[in-house]
A and B are shown apart, each in its own frame.
Chain A
């Protein structure tokens, strides 16, 4: 079977789309299993072996539930809200480099949806659009608790975007490019000691991960849906699959945030001693260079997903460990601690680059 290069790339886009959805589906299962583990309970174990069919059962439940429109709701926007949340969440996974190049004869397949010059800005833009789904859904519900949740989401997102952007600038100063693929490739160079960005940007990474928690509305920053004060926040009035789409969008956002952190700070698809392993495969095992490179690419793909799953686990671990912040504490943390810290980090990075400590 021969497909033109563009056809292969289209296939990759479809696979990325499917994998994002699959991971989001099983995140709902993982969340409950991890919660059960941390709270010393059994967790979901009825549907299928180890409860693995639980997400399927949930989907059936959500689809067959009654679809309810609250009185006085703006019907069009009420439906549009969850759709928008889902679309913006899925769009951001398009530029993430999941792996290097697979070479089959003439065709080279990049394991990445699309490679664009400004990949990092694209992800940032999609993240900043993610708040619209929440805002529109919360407003269209015609419920004061939903509206409060929507307004909280908007102000929280805008506040933490600034610190997130400033943390990214420090990475940019070292990499000199906005392309996520280039940033990944720079974190590993054959034949020399080369550290991942986490070694050069520890402070920036801490700022980034705190902002990622706020941007994905995860505990301890899940104030838009804070059930102790706002019933369910922006999705109070939602039921059936529209509710399911909001939950799904949140898990996709967690997946994308984990992927971006792995790419920016943890070397993306690189893993230690990959070039040595490739050379060993060529010299001692008698493989061709192309085959050896393909094996390294696949191992790198597996490695990246291991990093991503590690971060998703971290998100869930934090959720079942830390209590929720108060809203004024959240704003104070964002504006008076994270932003000055991020500016300090930029200055520190600039100084270190000037004196040649890091590059």
Chain B
């Protein structure tokens, strides 16, 4: 394990803990952004440049901006945080603990398949290779997903459109 990998993993775990433990929701969001950055670092170590860049653009750049936007709009902060009843906290601890137990139990005996250094293709994460796979092997699911996203975008434009007779200002 390279020192870079260890460092990234350390920061990733620490910032992921920060997301859960921070009292202030805005701090939580910022920790989550840092977590996405460390994940992108891991993608880069795996030579998946495209995935790393898209992770930054989509998650850190767009989705988290919306999170922050909503949190700022609702003016959530430490004072307005609702106090959960003890029963809810207890139930959450039990549920979370059993999920952890199941995950650890499932992962315990996993034997990583590894890779064959002679046939391993280091360029597999590059954008052109990914494009070939997406457009040859998975052309139909890819196109369906893109139509879904386009429909969402057209829908938002329709919602924002001025209707006849409606007055703005």
| Chain A residues close to B by CB (< 8 Å) | 74, 77, 116-118, 121-122, 124-125, 128-129, 131-132, 135-136, 139, 147, 150-151, 154-155, 157-158, 161-162, 177-178, 328, 331-332, 335-336, 339-340
Known: A125-B61, A139-B26. A154 touches B69 (CB 8 A): yes
Q: Which residue of B lies closest to A172 (CB)?
A: B127
B115: min CB distance to chain A, Å: 21
CB contact between A328 and one of B24, B66, B168 (< 8 Å): that residue = B168
CB contact between A128 and one of B30, B57, B68, B169 (< 8 Å): that residue = B57
CB contact between B65 and one of A77, A117, A157 (< 8 Å): that residue = A157
| Contact residues, B37-67 vs A (CB, 8 A) | 49-50, 52-54, 56-57, 60-62, 65-66
Q: How far is the CA of A37 from the CA of B15 in the complex (A)?
A: 51
Q: How far is the CA of A124 from the CA of B54 in the complex (A)?
A: 10
Known: A117-B127, A121-B54, A154-B65. A335 touches B72 (CB 8 A): no
CB pair A150–B72 under 8 Å, yes or no, is yes
CB pair A335–B157 under 8 Å, yes or no, is yes
Apart from A121-B50, A132-B65, A151-B73, 4 more pairs, CB < 8 Å: A129-B60, A158-B66, A332-B162, A336-B157
CB pair B49–A135 under 8 Å, yes or no, is no
B162: min CB distance to chain A, Å: 8
CB contact between B62 and one of A135, A136, A161 (< 8 Å): that residue = A161
Q: B93 contacts the other chain (Cβ, under 8 Å)? A: no
Q: How far is the CA of A194 from the CA of B65 in the complex (A)?
A: 41
Q: B161 contacts the other chain (Cβ, under 8 Å)? A: yes
Q: How far is the CA of A340 from the CA of B49 in the complex (A)?
A: 30
Known: A128-B62, A158-B62. A335 touches B156 (CB 8 A): yes
CB pair A332–B160 under 8 Å, yes or no, is yes
CB contact between A139 and one of B53, B65, B72, B162 (< 8 Å): that residue = B72
CB contact between A339 and one of B69, B128, B157 (< 8 Å): that residue = B157
Residue from B49, B60, B128, B162 whose CB has the most chain A CB atoms within 10 Å: B49
A-B contact pairs, 30 of them (CB 8 A): A116-B49, A117-B49, A117-B126, A118-B53, A121-B50, A121-B53, A121-B54, A122-B53, A124-B53, A125-B56, A125-B61, A128-B61, A128-B65, A132-B33, A135-B65, A135-B69, A136-B26, A136-B30, A139-B68, A150-B72, A151-B72, A154-B68, A155-B69, A158-B62, A158-B66, A162-B153, A328-B169, A331-B160, A332-B160, A336-B160
Classify the secondary structure of A's interface with B: helix
Residues of B within 8 A of A340 (CB): 157
B127: min CB distance to chain A, Å: 6
Q: How far is the CA of A118 from the CA of B168 in the complex (A)?
A: 43
Residues of B within 8 A of A151 (CB): 69, 72-73
Q: How far is the CA of A294 from the CA of B153 in the complex (A)?
A: 48
Q: How far is the CA of A150 from the CA of B69 in the complex (A)?
A: 9
Report the tally of A-B residue pairs with Cβ distances under 8 A.
82
B101: min CB distance to chain A, Å: 37
Residues of A within 8 A of B30 (CB): 77, 136
The 7 closest A-B pairs by CB, nearest first: A128-B61, A121-B53, A125-B56, A125-B57, A118-B53, A154-B69, A118-B49
CB contact between B50 and one of A118, A139, A150 (< 8 Å): that residue = A118
Residues of A within 8 A of B52 (CB): 118
Q: Which residue of A lies closest to B55 (CB)?
A: A125
CB contact between A124 and one of B24, B57, B127, B168 (< 8 Å): that residue = B57
Q: How far is the CA of A150 from the CA of B160 in the complex (A)?
A: 21
| Contact residues, B120-153 vs A (CB, 8 A) | 126-128, 153
Q: How far is the CA of A121 from the CA of B68 in the complex (A)?
A: 23
Q: Which residue of A lies closest to B51 (CB)?
A: A118
Residues of A within 8 A of B66 (CB): 154, 158
Q: Which residue of B lies closest to A340 (CB)?
A: B157
Residue from B33, B61, B126, B160 whose CB has the most chain A CB atoms within 10 Å: B61
Q: Which residue of A lies closest to B131 (CB)?
A: A176
Q: How far is the CA of A322 from the CA of B69 in the complex (A)?
A: 29
Residues of A within 8 A of B162 (CB): 332
Q: How far is the CA of A135 from the CA of B68 in the complex (A)?
A: 8
Q: How far is the CA of A151 from the CA of B168 in the complex (A)?
A: 20
Known: A117-B127, A151-B72, A332-B160. A131 touches B65 (CB 8 A): yes
Q: How far is the CA of A119 from the CA of B159 in the complex (A)?
A: 35
CB pair A129–B61 under 8 Å, yes or no, is yes
Residues of A within 8 A of B62 (CB): 128, 158, 161
Q: Which residue of A lies closest to B66 (CB)?
A: A158
Q: Which residue of A lies closest to B75 (CB)?
A: A147
Q: Which residue of A lies closest to B33 (CB)?
A: A132
CB pair B127–A118 under 8 Å, yes or no, is yes
Residues of A within 8 A of B156 (CB): 335
